[in-house]
Amino acid sequence: MEFQYRDPEIEKMPREELLALQLQKLKTEIEIALRTPFYKERLSKAGIKSRDDIRTLDDLNRIPFTTKNDLRDGFPYGFLAIPKEEVVRLHASSGTTGVPTTIYFSRSDLKNWAGFMARCIYGAGCNKTDVFQNMITYGLFTGGLGFHQGGEEVGMLVIPAGAGNTGRQFKMMQDYGTTVLHATPSFLLHLETKMKEAGVERESLSIKRAFAGAEPYSEDTRKRIEALLKVDVYNSYGLSEMNGPGVAFECQCKAGLHIWEDGYMAEIVNPDTLEPVKDGETGELILTILCREATPILRYRTRDLTSFYTQPCECGRTHRRLRRITGRSDDMLIINGVNVFPSQIEEVIMGMKEVGNNYLIVVEKDGALDRLTVKTEISAEIFMDDSRPLNALKDKIKETLQASISINPRVELHESGSLPVTEGKAVRVKDTRPKDV
Ligand code: AMP
Ligand code: ZN
């Protein structure tokens, strides 16, 4: 196979040089972090007061971990390292409570991010002759603008299609001769189902490749999408705390995701002991960003479970590869690509006095997409046979949940005391989606 590299010197840099580059970048990122109120305090407690306190890459171990809660506590500007007038954009992701984790970007941060994205897209075989339909949510979510800018950087014709509306998506593919898609894996599967229903002939489309990410999926799912849509599917991994997509991406070998080690330092630790796992073993991914000046984040606990490949890749890139993310070390659910914590749902429903004491969150597959149903008991004062207040309550729960988690759930109301009660730890979430990762 003929491989193409956007930044060959860096992508194929001998490991020794790459590690030396990492050390330099880590020192700089420490210097940047020390300008933020949060890290100034955190790092000085750990005895790190200047970039010179980091002498080798092993000194990374002296840096305390950062969690999503820390980011929340630091909201809105505790992690900002540059003057506000130098910030040109923010992105945000939902947290366990109403406070979003917010990441700020300077102009050069955006340029760096677009560069990493372009490296991923080009490395998957795309070039300026491609027409790229970005079928993912634009807005605060990083997937839309992240891929958009990366696509433009490669020189592709980018269609900011956004998510949903399969009919419109097919029309655009036909009208503009789309060759590359980006979506969640569940949306790609859904697209195939709809393609049959809409009577769209595969031959009328020019699609060759698809990027799929934002949620976990298995190798079988990849193969299924590839067979059904007749495209090459590449796995894309990222998280808003680390810019968004562009952190790790599959090359044309499709055997693990290269993590760009000149932009990110990756460690894998046991989520209970926080000690490093043995090479090749599964654990929680910890990431330190090395390419951002507005919002430095050091040793971030991603909660994503994965492992490193121990062998180099056939493509010649020296940046290590991650295995597919197999799950999380917390209870975050990913529903059609949107992050939802059960605690967010609980907060909404338990805040309503009409709601009883027991509830159950059900996540299941509805065709290719995910469906969320919230079953809740009503308080003993409300009678099941009076439908008017019940319907009003249902609508209220739906609307409040939609506002809080950005997903439109189904809501079922149950008589007080009728939902199953488990002995011991309550089971609040029933996720029946196949776990085939
Ligand atoms: P967000 O910050 O909203 O972009 O969500 C980031 C989270 O989405 C990650 O921490 C992962 O849990 C999940 N995610 C993103 N990409 C992938 C992927 N390719 N495979 C599995 N999970 C993913
Ligand atoms: Zn490779």
Ligand 1 atom 5: residue of nearest CA: 239
pLDDT (mean) for 340-364:
88
For residue 350, the model assigns a pLDDT of: 81
Cα 13 to ligand 2 centroid, rounded to whole Å? 13
pLDDT beyond 80 at 383: no
Query: Cβ distance 132 to 151 under 8 Å?
Result: yes
Structure confidence by residue, pLDDT tens digits, 126-155: 999 999 999 999 999 999 999 999 999 999
Q: Identify the helix (H) or strand (E) that includes residue 16.
A: helix 15-33
DSSP helix/strand/coil, 291: coil
| pLDDT band at residue 423 under the 50/70/90 scheme | low
For residue 436, the model assigns a pLDDT of: 61
For residue 1, the model assigns a pLDDT of: 82
For residue 193, the model assigns a pLDDT of: 84
Cα 422 to ligand 1 centroid, rounded to whole Å? 31
Atom of ligand 1 nearest to the CA of 304: 12
For residue 296, the model assigns a pLDDT of: 98
Give percent of the chain with pLDDT exceeding 90. Answer: 78
Contacts of 128 (CB under 8 A, 6+ apart): 154, 155, 156
Ligand 1 atom 6: residue of nearest CA: 239
Give percent of the chain with pLDDT exceeding 70. Answer: 97
Ligand 1 atom 20: residue of nearest CA: 216
Ligand nearest to the CA of 4: 2
CA distance 133 to 113: 19
Token couple for 166: 């399969």
Atom of ligand 1 nearest to the CA of 236: 19
Cα 346 to ligand 1 centroid, rounded to whole Å? 23
pLDDT beyond 60 at 437: no
For residue 186, the model assigns a pLDDT of: 84
Ligand nearest to the CA of 11: 2
Query: Cβ distance 284 to 329 under 8 Å?
Result: yes
pLDDT beyond 60 at 95: no
For residue 7, the model assigns a pLDDT of: 98
Q: DSSP readout, 101-124?
A: EEEEEEHHHHHHHHHHHHHHHHHT
Ligand nearest to the CA of 328: 1
Ligand 1 atom 3: residue of nearest CA: 93
User: What's the whole-number average pLDDT of the chain?
Assistant: 94
Ligand 1 atom 8: residue of nearest CA: 214
Cross-strand bridge partners of residue 369: 366
Domains detected in the chain: 1-328 (3.40.50.12780), 333-431 (3.30.300.30)
**Residues lining ligand 1, CB < 6 A?**
93, 142, 213-216, 235-240, 244, 302, 304, 325, 328, 334, 339
Ligand 1 atom 21: residue of nearest CA: 216
CA distance 368 to 232: 19
Ligand nearest to the CA of 332: 1
Cα 385 to ligand 1 centroid, rounded to whole Å? 43
Ligand 1 atom 23: residue of nearest CA: 215
Atom of ligand 1 nearest to the CA of 325: 21
Cα 6 to ligand 2 centroid, rounded to whole Å? 13
| Residue 88, φ and ψ in degrees, nearest 5 | -115, -10
Q: What count of other Cβ atoms lies within 10 Å of the Cβ of residue 29?
A: 25
pLDDT (mean) for 336-355:
87
Cα 183 to ligand 1 centroid, rounded to whole Å? 13
Structure confidence by residue, pLDDT tens digits, 225-283: 999 899 999 999 999 999 999 999 999 999 999 999 999 999 999 999 999 999 999 99
Cα 331 to ligand 2 centroid, rounded to whole Å? 32
Atom of ligand 1 nearest to the CA of 142: 4
For residue 327, the model assigns a pLDDT of: 85
For residue 424, the model assigns a pLDDT of: 64
Q: Which of 287, 295, 304 has the most ligand 1 atoms within 8 A of CB, as the residue to mutate?
A: 304
